[in-house]
Chain A
């Protein structure tokens, strides 16, 4: 996991971050002590490394942003999916595409939704096209966007736009079959 952050702090791992002490965001907004926190920021290589750490599992990577209405609408289904399938070999990762100045909004969104899976911010700087193409050459940059990796680490499903719980469930159950 990438622990180098542009945010001015280091996060050893997301589980520890969940239990972090009361956080006061740069805009003065207080986030509850048990609120989920960002696991850090990452670039395309960092994302590939994060996915590789869950080798052997079906890994769902969801790209979202607080400014993206359909992303916000589908996010609770990802939270539900991860809880339902974590014991069956499914891991979920979230990647926020928000502007770095909107870190407080990202933290607030996570606090409201309580994901029990790691969420990162795409590292600011660089060319977004390189990141988009590294994730999937056919991705045009629209959000939300979800990539599902099979147990062998290979990209197996690409879901563009807002999905339902049934869509997410179908994508992972297909890949969990022996």
Chain B
């Protein structure tokens, strides 16, 4: 068996062995581990990232979704602010309809300084049960899910946000407190799965 066939066989085996979860992890449950390459070609391992950061924020985002795009500046600013405090932000694009080059161009256009990964065949979205963009998951240093939901409640008017849920959760995590509002909801664009 040549190397490419062996790789194909391995991938098929992994795909068959790893069930697609309809629902993601519950708050407090272990966050599914995954390994991907960042858009600048570096390896990314969630397990490694958990060990070296106070928390990891996984952000399922899109380039063409108006709701996700309404949060571009907020995501950039929150990542800049909390990145300095030991929180790692990872933007995950799971949409089959958006190419790696589009994701790179979009990130450059909006000044994203956070890590970006493309999620081939939406496997990570399936692991987490992510349904739409933007959708946030915070993973603690012990690998457990601490928060799932939205960035805030006001998609349209960033200056009138009354419930900055992601920031509140991060502040509580940094203070060593439990996240009081660990699950929130908002409307969003469905993830375009294969």
Contact B131–A127 (Cβ < 8 Å): no
Contact B131–A67 (Cβ < 8 Å): no
A67-B65, A133-B185 as given contacts; A140 in contact with B153, CB under 8 Å: no
At the interface, yes or no: A92 with Cβ under 8 Å from chain B?
no
Contact with A along B137-171 (1 / 0, CB 8 A): 00000000000001001011000001100000000
At the interface, yes or no: B184 with Cβ under 8 Å from chain A?
yes
Contact B156–A124 (Cβ < 8 Å): yes
Contact A141–B187 (Cβ < 8 Å): yes
Contact A70–B153 (Cβ < 8 Å): no
Q: Which residues of B contact A142 (CB under 8 A)?
A: 131-132, 187-188, 190
Contact A143–B190 (Cβ < 8 Å): yes
A67-B65, A132-B185, A133-B185 as given contacts; A99 in contact with B155, CB under 8 Å: yes
Q: How near does chain B come to A27, taking the closest CB pair, in angstroms?
A: 16
- Contact among A68, A100, A124, A140 for B189, CB-based, below 8 A: A68
At the interface, yes or no: A128 with Cβ under 8 Å from chain B?
yes
Chain B's interface size range is 20 to 34
Q: Which residues of A contact B155 (CB under 8 A)?
A: 99, 128
Contact A141–B188 (Cβ < 8 Å): yes
- Contact among B153, B190, B192 for A128, CB-based, below 8 A: B153
In the complex, chain A residues 109-153 whose Cβ is within 8 Å of any chain B Cβ: 124, 127-129, 132-133, 139-144
CB nearest neighbor in B for A102: B66
A67-B65, A141-B132, A142-B132 as given contacts; A97 in contact with B187, CB under 8 Å: yes
At the interface, yes or no: B179 with Cβ under 8 Å from chain A?
no
Chain A positions near chain B (C-beta within 8 angstroms): 65, 67-70, 97, 99-101, 124, 127-129, 132-133, 139-144, 161-162
Chain B positions near chain A (C-beta within 8 angstroms): 65-67, 70, 131-132, 150, 153, 155-156, 162-163, 184-190, 192
